[in-house]
Amino acid sequence: MIVTLRFCVSSRRLGFGFFVRIRTLPLLNLAHKPKVFDSFCSSHFSHYSGTQKKIDSTHHTLPSTMNELRDSPATLVQHVPSLRIALNDPERPLHERFRVLFTLKNIGGAAAIDAIAECFKDDSALLKHELAYCLGQLQDTHAIPCLTQVLQDTNQEPMVRHEAAEALGAIGTPEVLATLVAHLEDPVVEVSETCQIAVARVKWENGGKQAAQQTGDFSENPYDSVDPAPPSAPATAAELRGRLLDTELTLFERYRALFALRNKGDPESVLAIVDGFDDKSALFRHEIAYVLGQMQHPVSVPGLIKVLERGESESSMVRHECAEALGSIATDECLPVLERYKQDNQRVVKESCVVALDMHAFENSGEFLTLEQGVEKIVREVKAKQESASA
C-alpha cells in the first residue's frame, strides 16, 4: 500500500490549505478505489480525492499515527475566536479566507459553525457558497437554523441558496424535510432542482438506503465526502452513461449514475461524465464539473476548458466550478487558461480562477504545513493586525 500526501488550495469540495489530506492507494491490481481522509484539510477539498500522484517523501513527513491526527482538532478549539476574526475579515485575500474556512470545518463543533455562519453577510457569492458547503459536510444539526435562513433569503445569490439546500440534504435528518419541500417549486430553478435532489437524499438516508442495500442497488462511496446522492450499483461505463444522460429519470437517479461513474475512475468513465456538459440543466452541468475536479483526471481537461470558454452564454455557476476543477487537476495546460480568466466579467468566475491559481501553485510547490502550524500562523497574523490597529 502506498501512502501519499496532497497539499493544495482550492474551492468548493477542493482541499485547501495546510495538512490537506492523507489517502491510502491500493495496489493497481486491486479493484478498490482510494479512500480519502479529509478530516485534517484546511480547505474545500472534502469532495476532491485527487489523482494518484506521489509526492517525494523526502519533503514531507507523516504523523506518527492516524489517531494523533484525528485527535488534533479538539486541541484547536481555543483558537476559533481568532479564526472567526480572520474568516470575517474582508481585507484578507480570498484564498487565505478559504484556508481559514476549511480549518474551521476540520475543527468542527458549535463554535466553529457559528464562526462560519457569521460570514454569510459577506458580499462574495463564491465564499458564501463555500460556507454552506462546509456546513453541510460537517453534518451537524447545529447548522440547520443558519442554512434554513440562507435558503429562505431571496436576497442571497442563487448559487448560495442552492448550496444551503444541498447542505440541508447532506445533514439528512427528517427535520430538514419541511424546509426543503417548501422550496420544491422555488422560482429559481437551481434552487428548486437542488431541493428535489435533497428531499430524495433525506428519504434515502431515512429508509431508502436500507432497502437498496438489500436489493443490491447501492455501492459504497470511496471518497471522504458527503455527496448529494449515493452512487448506484456498479455497472459498465456505457450503462451508467445511459442513465446519466437519460432526462426521463429524476435528477437524483442521474446523480447516482454520476457518482457511480466517478467511483469507477477510468478514462472511459471520465469521458462519459464529460458528455453531461450538454445537458440543459445548469445545476446538472455544475455537478458534472465538480465531480471532474474531484476525480482530477487529466483526460477531462479539454472538456472543462471548453465549458469555461463558453463565456457569458454559460451559467457562472457552471463556469466557476470548471475553473476550480482545472485548479484541482493542476496540469501545465490548466495554468494559462486560469490566468486568462482571472479577469473574467463574472465575479464568481474571476474569484474562482484566483483561488484555483493559488491551488495550482500549492499542487506544484510541495509546501507542507500541519493543521496545527497553519492555525498558529493565522492566530499570529490576527494578533499582529490587532496590535497594529491599536498602536
Annotated binding site for Fe cation: 129-130, 162-163, 286-287, 320-321
Rounded to the nearest 5 degrees, what angle is found at the Cα of 169, between the Cα atoms of 166 and 172? 155
The amino acid at 314: E
The answer to whether 376 and 108 have CB atoms below 8 angstroms apart is no
**Residues 193, 194, 197, 203, Cα dihedral to 10°:** -120
The amino acid at 286: H
Using a 10 angstrom Cβ sphere, with 0-12 exposed, 13-18 middle and 19 or more buried, the burial of residue 129 is buried
Give the DSSP per-residue string, 22-41: EEEE--TTS-PPPEEE-TT-
The answer to whether 77 and 107 have CB atoms below 8 angstroms apart is yes
SS3 213: helix
The H or E element containing residue 146 is: helix 144-152
The answer to whether 36 and 224 have CB atoms below 8 angstroms apart is yes
Mark the binding-site residues, compressed into ranges. Answer: 129-130, 162-163, 286-287, 320-321
Residue 35: beta bridge partners?
Answer: 24
Cα(360)–Cα(325) distance, integer angstroms = 10
